[in-house]
A and B are shown apart, each in its own frame.
Chain A
């Protein structure tokens, strides 16, 4: 027989397939190298960076762009001229870097941010991140007598820690609150209310003036869960939030959470929400707000930078804490949710772990932080780094908010521990709440049910907030 039989051909193809499967396996081999080789330490080089070791930095190219990182890299190059720095920026952090983690060849520094950040639950449970405790205890670049730990704003160490290990530096500092245009309020003679009753009364006035009192993003309705949880924490104390972070049974059904949810549900019941907001994404709703179609919006302090191109001159945006729900709130009116964002990590299997830590130490110097604030109008995790800089009206009001809070700022961690719980479950329930398809009490029940699912799921690693 001088022709290839059909069977022979199929066998051949199967053989080729098998060879391919072996050759290019997605699940990777390993990883013999560990880049923790330490150079000699000195006062100038406390982390023991090898001077000529190349450094690879990957930046999330989102709201903050990538130019600030190039400035930081220049500072690193200034200290270690022999080190070659490889810089890249992407919006698809997870898609780009996931295969490199598997291959045991991750970059040395990653800004793990944005819509497609790599899930921290997975990274931490796989031990993929370097413990940055050593960085915290290293002397700061500005003042050798001071540890890096002591230069950070309160809350930064908490939000970057998993089971007591400090694994991420959340470089940007975001304050969350209720935003309004000071210009509009001054023109109309309105004043930001300190109590919830005052808020409802003011909303009535605003509505009568032909402006929607509130707008929000239905696509990312979790933005509206922030004032609810903030108000709940202020009413019932931080323990309420800790129970939520620890996925405790009935944490979301706590009286304080229910009262807060009910208060904000009132906005929907009384028709104080802009019609159509349920179909808007965050940019669309923020733009409606900038155009003066709505008075209040819930957001974080990146808002000013995000809306830069559409904010009318003299708009004068300002942020305020959530109004107190009762007269005996456990936390003062000035308390707000303040936390780090833009998490930077040093993968444990990077080639130059020491260099990665040193890069973060440089980022946490006042010079680098001030440069960041000037470029992207966001505060940083570094205490006092924005002193003396000329800031936009939004950011100026954020610094006032921080000063007025007198250290009563707080945050929750469930959204970093269990990202999907907030991004999918709370998000979906909040839209139902503000479109009046469910009541405040049903909202609590629904989110609690989801939280219970997470608590039971063995595939999800649990963290304990102390």
Chain B
């Protein structure tokens, strides 16, 4: 019996140890640090109880950032999933009905590859690329607008607090949608073609097919996508930091960036950890809520 336990332990201990050191322990320490006034520059610190969290409640900059994360949380998953479903169904089943049966639009193989491109680029490259795209004089977007005679619309996108957040949101959708096209596309392959053919014979339109057949049969996948995208929305740090760095003012700030600036810019690791702890609970709550809210009967094929 001991031999068996030892055998199991030998396999379990290394991964648990790694997990403990690199995942659990930083989390635990963040909780500890959030109760201190640690500056992050010397081993000296004092416990200040819940002061950091009290300060958080009255910190307008934090709430502005949180509001942006909230907006992302509502808009990013919806927009990405809708766009992803649309593109995926166009690629797999959206083609003109003809003798070849149900198939994708012409050139669907090409689109499948092209949509995946942003996923291949690193976040840093995407950020720098879009920053230049949005540039007021040299950027492609304004160049295009001027080219078609819409000079009045060629504004300083990232320099205007009315637009900066939406510019970042557009990039986030752009960089994420490709992955979900592939994900949904792969899931659609497992839906039997005859279901679509039957629907077509019954005279169902494409929209009806999408809503009545594709979405219910992909529900598990969509649910997972939703949770992933929610996590991306609550984070958003890298892309915001590169494209706008939260500006102008705090018009595109997100909580992750606030945390980073508080820690490394202001040397207030205690307060930054409090922000991190708040975010931890927020992410957890959101994930649980999504899973609860989207729980449905499984459709068996």
Smallest CB–CB gap between A85 and chain B, Å?
Answer: 25
Chain A residues with CB below 8 A from B36, complex form: 27
Binds A, one of B24-32, B66-74, B190-198, B229-237: B24-32
In the complex, which of the residues B42, B156, B249 contacts A428, with contact meaning CB atoms closer than 8 Å?
B249
Whether A118 pairs with B41 at a CB distance below 8 angstroms is: yes
| Cβ of A21 under 8 Å from chain B | yes
Contacts known (A19-B20, A284-B138); A420 close to B266, Cβ less than 8 A: yes
Tell me, in angstroms, the Cα distance from A25 to B24 when the chains sit together: 12
Chain A residues with CB below 8 A from B157, complex form: 279
Chain B residues with CB below 8 A from A12, complex form: 12, 16
Chain A residues with CB below 8 A from B136, complex form: 275-280, 284
Chain B residues with CB below 8 A from A18, complex form: 28
Closest B residue by C-beta to A103? B43
Residues in B1-46 with C-beta less than 8 Å from chain A = 1, 4-5, 8, 12-13, 16-17, 19-21, 24-26, 28-29, 32-33, 36-45
Whether B43 pairs with A279 at a CB distance below 8 angstroms is: no
Whether A98 pairs with B160 at a CB distance below 8 angstroms is: no
| Cβ of B267 under 8 Å from chain A | yes
Contacts known (A98-B264, A119-B267, A432-B249); A278 close to B24, Cβ less than 8 A: no
Whether B16 pairs with A280 at a CB distance below 8 angstroms is: no
Closest A residue by C-beta to B1? A2
Chain B interface residue count, CB cutoff 8 Å, equals: 54
Whether A13 pairs with B159 at a CB distance below 8 angstroms is: no
Contacts known (A119-B265, A419-B265, A431-B248); A31 close to B156, Cβ less than 8 A: no
Whether B16 pairs with A102 at a CB distance below 8 angstroms is: no
Contacts known (A27-B38, A128-B42); A2 close to B4, Cβ less than 8 A: yes
Tell me, in angstroms, the Cα distance from A21 to B36 when the chains sit together: 16
| Cβ of A123 under 8 Å from chain B | yes
Chain A residues with CB below 8 A from B25, complex form: 17, 20-21, 23-24
In the complex, which of the residues A125, A277, A288 contacts B156, with contact meaning CB atoms closer than 8 Å?
A277
Closest A residue by C-beta to B61? A424
Tell me, in angstroms, the Cα distance from A19 to B16 when the chains sit together: 11
| Cβ of B245 under 8 Å from chain A | yes
| Cβ of B271 under 8 Å from chain A | yes
Closest A residue by C-beta to B245? A219
Contacts known (A13-B16, A119-B266, A280-B136); A102 close to B41, Cβ less than 8 A: yes
Contacts known (A104-B43, A218-B248); A94 close to B135, Cβ less than 8 A: no
| Cβ of B137 under 8 Å from chain A | yes
Chain A residues with CB below 8 A from B261, complex form: 424
Closest B residue by C-beta to A93? B264
Closest A residue by C-beta to B136? A276
Smallest CB–CB gap between A281 and chain B, Å?
Answer: 8
Tell me, in angstroms, the Cα distance from A94 to B264 when the chains sit together: 6
Whether A279 pairs with B156 at a CB distance below 8 angstroms is: yes
Chain B residues with CB below 8 A from A2, complex form: 1, 4
Closest A residue by C-beta to B22? A20
Smallest CB–CB gap between A426 and chain B, Å?
Answer: 11
Closest B residue by C-beta to A281? B131
| Cβ of A416 under 8 Å from chain B | no
Chain A residues with CB below 8 A from B248, complex form: 218-219, 221, 278, 428, 431-432
Report B59-90 CB contacts with A as 1/0, cut-off 8 Å.
Answer: 00000000000000000000000000000000
Closest A residue by C-beta to B8? A4
Whether A16 pairs with B1 at a CB distance below 8 angstroms is: no
Chain B residues with CB below 8 A from A459, complex form: 37, 268, 271
Whether A24 pairs with B159 at a CB distance below 8 angstroms is: no
Whether A101 pairs with B21 at a CB distance below 8 angstroms is: no
Whether B43 pairs with A31 at a CB distance below 8 angstroms is: yes
Chain A residues with CB below 8 A from B119, complex form: none
Interface residues on A, range: 35 or more
In the complex, which of the residues A19, A219, A432 contacts B158, with contact meaning CB atoms closer than 8 Å?
A219
Chain B residues with CB below 8 A from A126, complex form: 39, 41-42, 44
Contacts known (A122-B39, A279-B134); A219 close to B28, Cβ less than 8 A: no
Chain B residues with CB below 8 A from A250, complex form: none
Residues in B125-140 with C-beta less than 8 Å from chain A = 131, 134-138
Report A390-432 CB contacts with B as 1/0, cut-off 8 Å.
Answer: 0000000000000000000000000000011001100110011
Closest A residue by C-beta to B42? A126
Chain A residues with CB below 8 A from B264, complex form: 94-95, 98, 116
Chain A residues with CB below 8 A from B250, complex form: 428
Whether B41 pairs with A128 at a CB distance below 8 angstroms is: yes
Smallest CB–CB gap between B223 and chain A, Å?
Answer: 26
Pick from B42, B43, B135 the residue with the most CB of A within 10 Å: B42
Tell me, in angstroms, the Cα distance from A21 to B25 when the chains sit together: 5
Chain B residues with CB below 8 A from A16, complex form: 13, 16-17, 19-20, 24
Closest B residue by C-beta to A30? B43
Chain B residues with CB below 8 A from A25, complex form: 29
Whether B159 pairs with A219 at a CB distance below 8 angstroms is: yes
Contacts known (A102-B43, A431-B249); A276 close to B156, Cβ less than 8 A: yes
Whether B43 pairs with A27 at a CB distance below 8 angstroms is: yes
| Cβ of A311 under 8 Å from chain B | no
Whether A26 pairs with B26 at a CB distance below 8 angstroms is: yes
| Cβ of B247 under 8 Å from chain A | yes
Whether B135 pairs with A101 at a CB distance below 8 angstroms is: no
| Cβ of A29 under 8 Å from chain B | yes
Whether B20 pairs with A20 at a CB distance below 8 angstroms is: yes
Smallest CB–CB gap between A321 and chain B, Å?
Answer: 28
Closest B residue by C-beta to A457? B55
Tell me, in angstroms, the Cα distance from A9 to B41 when the chains sit together: 37
Tell me, in angstroms, the Cα distance from A221 to B161 when the chains sit together: 14
| Cβ of A28 under 8 Å from chain B | yes
Whether A102 pairs with B42 at a CB distance below 8 angstroms is: yes
Closest A residue by C-beta to B167? A279
Chain B residues with CB below 8 A from A19, complex form: 20
Tell me, in angstroms, the Cα distance from A29 to B247 when the chains sit together: 38
Smallest CB–CB gap between A294 and chain B, Å?
Answer: 11
Whether A98 pairs with B40 at a CB distance below 8 angstroms is: yes
Tell me, in angstroms, the Cα distance from A25 to B41 when the chains sit together: 14
In the complex, which of the residues B12, B33, B159 contacts A278, with contact meaning CB atoms closer than 8 Å?
B159
Smallest CB–CB gap between A248 and chain B, Å?
Answer: 22
**Interchain Cβ contacts under 8 Å between A and B, 18 examples:** A16-B19, A17-B24, A23-B25, A27-B43, A95-B264, A98-B40, A98-B264, A102-B42, A102-B43, A104-B42, A121-B266, A219-B245, A276-B137, A276-B154, A280-B136, A281-B131, A284-B137, A459-B271
Residues of B participating in the A interface, judged by any CB pair closer than 8 Å: 1, 4-5, 8, 12-13, 16-17, 19-21, 24-26, 28-29, 32-33, 36-45, 131, 134-138, 142, 154-160, 245, 247-250, 261, 264-268, 271
Name 16 extra pairs, CB < 8 A, besides A20-B24, A126-B44, A276-B159.
A13-B16, A21-B24, A98-B264, A101-B40, A102-B40, A116-B264, A119-B267, A122-B268, A126-B41, A218-B159, A279-B134, A280-B137, A284-B136, A423-B265, A424-B261, A431-B159
Top 6 nearest A-B pairs (CB, nearest first) are A279-B156, A122-B267, A276-B136, A279-B159, A278-B159, A20-B25
